[in-house]
Amino acid sequence: MISKVLKYSFSDLIRSRWSYVYLVFYLVLGFTLLFLNTNLSKAIITLMNIVVILTPLIGTIFGVMYYYNSREFTELLLAQPIKRSSIFLGQYLGISLSLTISLVAGLGIPFLIYGLFQSSVILDFIMLLLSGAFLTFIFVALSVNIALLNTNKIKGFGYAILMWLFFAVIYDGIFLISLVLFDDYPLDQFTLVASLFNPIDLSRIMILLKLDISALLGYTGALFQKFFGTYLGSFISFGTLLLWVIIPVSLMTRFSNKKDF
Amino acid sequence: MISIETISKLLVRKSVILLIHISIYLVPLATTASVYHVCETCQIKSLGEAVVTANRHDTIKVRSGRYECTNLEITKPLSLIGETGAILDGKNLGYVLKLLGDHITVRGFKIINAGKSYTKDYAAIYAFKASQFKILDNEMVNPFFGILIEKSDNGLVQGNFLSGESSKEDDSGNGIHLWHCKNVDIVDNEIHGLRDGIYLEFVDSSKVRDNYAHHNIRYGLHFMFSNQDTYLNNTFESNGAGVAVMFSKFITMKKNRFLQNWGTSSYGLLLKEIYDADVTENEFKENTIGIFIEGSTRVNYFHNDFSQNGWAVKVSGGCYTNKFFKNNFLSNAFDVSYNSRMNDNSFHGNYWSEYTGYDLDDDEIGDIPYRPVKLFSYIVNKTPETIILLRSLFVDIINFSERVSPVFTPDDLVDEQPSLKPFQW
């Protein structure tokens, strides 16, 4: 049943104007970047900033928007003999997959045309897309949760944007201030742990270590390199990203089961 | 009147004197051309024997083969030439060749098994108080010290290939090591896998040119107390800590390449206590720190390329009246980093890839000044762990606000005339 709901919401979304806008945006971005600068690895660094900030934002907005827009349809589905978890999981996967496809196609096509397969940065590029996909899945799940908990659209939107703002900017601010304040203490363990608690930071660091390694190899940077650069480190970071998907999704099924529609 | 006889007698006497003179000058010249051959089937079977037999200014040619040679002292002017396949084996006992006189040439040998010691600086080729020496086209495999030259002058070290397998600093020696020398040219050598690639201490008026030092465990080039030297067109790649230049005056560094010196305390170039130097047309690429400057004064940096370094230029205390002009700063994580608000150095007319200003009067010079020191680099200096927030949105925001109104970074550290286009030379 879950696949049917998924199919429906996926085809609904993939035909919608916004997915096209999103796809076209990434296409234009990819082509412009590569047109201005044919160096693929530099283009990937520029893209990193965009992917790490923008995919969570788009995911957040789409998640909330889709939930509120398809509310009537959801209520119709709820009247049918379908498990609640199938409905919400199906919708969730529909949004996340369509966004991920827009991202992968939108960035993949320009890079393929500019000779990605002949270049040595293909793994870094895959890493970028993979973190983009993870961020989409994470932030759609988080925003659907927010929407489930708030019947009021305005409030829901507000909280969702605040959530994005928190992870994208505020978290780093608090992180930075606490690092500076507790300067006298050994901070490396704390830094490693704190970076695991923010999926945006985590993806940024993972991509940075692949691409822009030079600064991170100084003094303390080497410690992070030692952690994130090893197989164990990559395993832990990807595991953490996976947890960041699993926990909000399980919360989502829980909230949806309990919610009184 | 002088008779014809007396004239003819005089002529004869003169020609005899002339002949005697010719024989005096020419005969020794003719004997210097003598060449001794060393091989297993020759009369002379070892290099040591040949060195004893040969007269001043003779040439000794060593044919292909493996010869045992330990602590061989050469005190007279000789040319030792190894033909293809000539190998000198030091049997791990000590020095291999010791050049202790003037006008000695050593060319074309492969030297293996030079001794290692914790108390003596054994070297494959050792020169002491030698003048006009030439060490050319030799290959040294896994030596302790490769070429060690002390208190010598007017020499040439060219085209040598030194390779080692050192892994620890305390039980390895340097590739080309000069101590108390003058007017020595070190040209076109390749050194890898040793402690320091090239090490100069108290070496004046010398040239280091076209060398390639890579994968050495400490420095590619290391020099101290060495004045009036020129470093030209060398490449230093992936050495443990890069290149260190300390306590020297009137140095010229030109067209060198400093590549991929990565690590916790690694830099492309360290300048410590350097006065009146010129650093021109060098390339610093992918180093953790491009140039680390400490206590250096009146150094001109002109036409250098800094690309993709962690820190392009890191300025520590006590640096006065240094000038940076017409350099390219391309995609560095931090262009310039200071550890205080004091600044006495000038940055003028450089190209900064992160510059975002405009140029209304079309003179290819940006109309808005550029501030190369970011707030974030100041924070990282204070709390190194914050480097983990590199390139995050929050950091971009605080950098922007600091750029608008500097509070923590030196407010007079400004490039008033940033170039809009990278320089070519």
Q: Which one is predicted more confidently, B59 or B14?
A: B59
Asked whether residue B424 carries a pLDDT value surpassing 70, the answer given is yes
Alpha-carbon torsion (A120, A126, A131, A136), positive or negative? positive
Chain A contact present for B353, CB below 8 A: no
Res A181: pLDDT: 92
* B289 in contact with chain A, both atoms CB, cutoff 8 A: yes
Residue B1 has pLDDT above 70, yes or no: no
Check pLDDT > 70 for residue B224.
yes
Check residue A15 and give its pLDDT: 76
Q: What confidence category does residue B136 fall into, taking pLDDT thresholds of 50, 70 and 90?
A: very high
Is B265 an 8 Å CB contact of chain A? yes
Q: Are residues B62 and B185 in the same domain?
A: yes
Write out the DSSP string of A40-75: HHHHHHHHHHHHHHHHHHHHHHHHHHHHHHTHHHHH
- Number of domains observed in the structure of chain B: 2
CATH number of domain containing B62: 2.160.20.10
Domain match, B228 and B344 both? no
| Nearest-angstrom CA–CA distance, B251 and B245 | 9
pLDDT given for residue A56 in this prediction:
95
pLDDT tens per residue across span B79-126:
999 999 999 999 998 999 999 999 999 999 999 999 988 888 899 999
Say if residue B174 is in the same domain as residue B68.
Answer: yes
B330 and B351, same domain (yes or no): yes
Confidence of residue B62 (pLDDT cuts 50, 70, 90): very high
At B31, which helix (H) or strand (E)? helix B4-32
List, in sequence order, every beta strand (DSSP E) within B345-423: 346-348, 351-352
Q: Do B163 and B254 reside in the same domain of the chain?
A: no
| DSSP H or E run through B380 | helix B375-382
Mean pLDDT over each residue of chain A, to the nearest integer: 87
What is the CA angle B360-B366-B370, rounded to 5?
A: 140
* pLDDT (0 to 100) of residue B105: 95
Give percent above pLDDT 90 in chain B: 64
- Min Cα distance B110 → chain A (Å) is 38
Between the alpha carbon of residue B59 and those of residues A183, B35, B76, B95, the distances in Å are 69, 5, 11, 22
B327 vs chain A: nearest CA distance in angstroms? 20
What six digits make up the tokens of A228? 């994130």
**Can you give the length of chain B in residues?**
425
Give the pLDDT confidence score for residue A247 in this predicted structure: 96
For A50, B225, B323, the CA distances from B326, given in Å and listed in that order, are 32, 29, 10
List the one residue out of B64, B372, B391, B322 whose CA is nearest residue A214: B391
Cβ-based neighbours of B82, under 8 Å, separated by 6 or more: B62, B88, B107, B108, B109, B110, B138
| Boundary-marking domain end, from B213, B239, B265 | B239
Question: Which DSSP helix (H) or strand (E) runs through B61?
Answer: strand B58-62
Direct distance between the N- and C-terminal alpha carbons of chain A, in angstroms, rounded to an integer: 20
Buried residues in A76-91 as b, exposed as e (16+ CB within 10 A): ebeeeeeebbbbbbbb
For chain A, residues with pLDDT lower than 70 are 38, 212-222
Identify the DSSP state of B56: T
- In single-letter form, the type of residue at position B200 comes to L
List CB contacts (< 8 A) between B310 and chain A: 214-218, 221
Do B169 and B144 sit in the same domain of this protein? yes
Q: Looking at residue B50, what is its pLDDT?
A: 92
Give chain B's count of helices (H) and strands (E): 4, 37
Q: Are residues B159 and B259 in the same domain?
A: no
Q: Is the residue at B278 inside a domain?
A: yes
Is residue B382 very low, low, confident or very high in pLDDT (cuts 50, 70, 90)? confident
The predicted-structure confidence for B163-199, as pLDDT tens digits, reads as follows 999 888 888 899 999 999 999 999 999 999 999 999 9
Question: Scanning the structure block, which residue is given the tokens 């600093």?
Answer: B169
Q: Are residues B223 and B246 in the same domain?
A: no
Does B382 map to a domain?
A: no
What is the reported pLDDT for B78? 93
Cβ neighbours of A204 in B, within 8 Å: 391-392
Q: Is the pLDDT of residue B323 over 90?
A: yes
Nearest to B291 by CA among B280, B195, B204: B280
For the cut 90, the answer to whether the pLDDT of residue B256 exceeds it is: yes
Chain B residue numbers with beta carbons less than 8 Å from the beta carbon of A219 are: 264-265, 384, 387
Q: How many residues does chain A have?
A: 261
Closest alpha carbon within chain A to B287:
A214
CB B417 within 8 A of CB B366: yes
- In the three-class reduction of DSSP (H, G, I as helix; E, B as strand; rest coil), residue B308 is classed as coil
B231, B292: one domain: no
Q: pLDDT band at residue B390, thresholds of 50, 70 and 90?
A: confident
Residues B108 and B216 in one domain: yes
Range with lowest mean pLDDT among A114-118, B20-24, B70-74: B20-24
Indicate the residue type of A77.
Answer: L
Tell me the two tokens of residue B355.
Answer: 């510059």
Which residue has better confidence, B272 or B8? B272
Q: Could you tell me how far CA B273 lies from the centroid of its own chain? A: 18
* Partners of B283 in beta bridges: B257, B305
Q: What is the pLDDT of residue A12?
A: 80
Q: Distance (Å, rounded) from C-alpha B196 to C-alpha B173? A: 7
Residue B24 lies in a domain: no
B403 located within any domain: no
Residues 6+ apart with CB under 8 A from B320: B297, B298, B344, B345
Res B385: pLDDT: 84
- Residues of B whose CB is below 8 A from A224: 387-388
Question: Which residues of chain B neighbour A47 with C-beta distances below 8 Å?
Answer: none
Q: State pLDDT tens for residues A207-245.
A: 887 776 666 666 666 677 777 777 888 888 899 999 999
Residue B40 lies in a domain: yes
Mean of the pLDDT values across residues B206-215?
95
* DSSP character string of B86-108: EEEE-TTSS-SEEE-SSS-EEES
Which domain does B265 fall in, by range? 241-373+410-425
Confidence at residue B310, expressed as pLDDT on a 0 to 100 scale: 87
Quick check: B198 and B191 in contact, CB under 8 A?
A: yes
Q: Compute the distance between CA of residue B118 and CA of residue A50 in angstroms, rounded to an integer.
A: 56
Is B397 within the bounds of a domain?
Answer: no
**B308 and A CB contact within 8 Å:** yes
Q: Which amino acid is at B60?
A: I
Sequence-distant contacts of B19-24: CB under 8 A, at least 24 apart: none
CA count, 13 A, side-chain hemisphere, B252: 12
Distances (CA, A) of B388 to B32, B71, B212, B394: 70, 55, 34, 12
Helix residue ranges, H only, chain A: 2-14, 17-36, 40-69, 71-78, 84-113, 122-149, 153-165, 171-181, 188-196, 199-211, 213-216, 221-228, 231-258
User: CA-nearest residue of chain B to A179?
Assistant: B386
Interface test with B, best of A200, A217, A225 (most B CBs within 10 A): A217
* Predicted local confidence at residue B234, as pLDDT: 96
Instruction: Give yes or no: residues B269 and B220 share one domain.
Output: no
Indicate if the pLDDT at residue B28 is higher than 70: no
Residues from chain A that touch B263, judged by Cβ atoms under 8 A, are: 217, 222
B158 and B219 fall within a common domain: yes
pLDDT higher than 50, residue B70 = yes
User: At residue B27, does pLDDT exceed 60?
Assistant: no
In a domain, B404, yes or no: no
CA–CA distance, B229 with B253 (Å, rounded to integer)? 9
> What is residue B30's predicted lDDT score, i.e. its pLDDT?
47
Q: Is residue B384 part of a domain?
A: no
Report angle CA A200, A201, A206 to the nearest 5 degrees: 100
Output Rg (C-alpha) for chain B, integer angstroms: 29
Which residue, B209, B239, B269, sits at the end of a domain? B239
- Do the Cβ atoms of B213 and B193 come closer than 8 Å? no
The residue out of B205, B239, B273 marking a domain boundary is B239
Q: Does B256 touch chain A (CB under 8 A)?
A: no
Give the per-residue pLDDT at B295.
92
Question: Who among A169, A214, A222 is closest to B264 (CB)?
Answer: A222
**Predicted interface score ipTM higher than 0.85:** yes
| DSSP structure string for A77-118 | HHTSS--HHHHHHHHHHHHHHHHHHHHHHHHHHHHHHTTSTT
**Is the model's pLDDT at B2 over the cut of 60?**
no
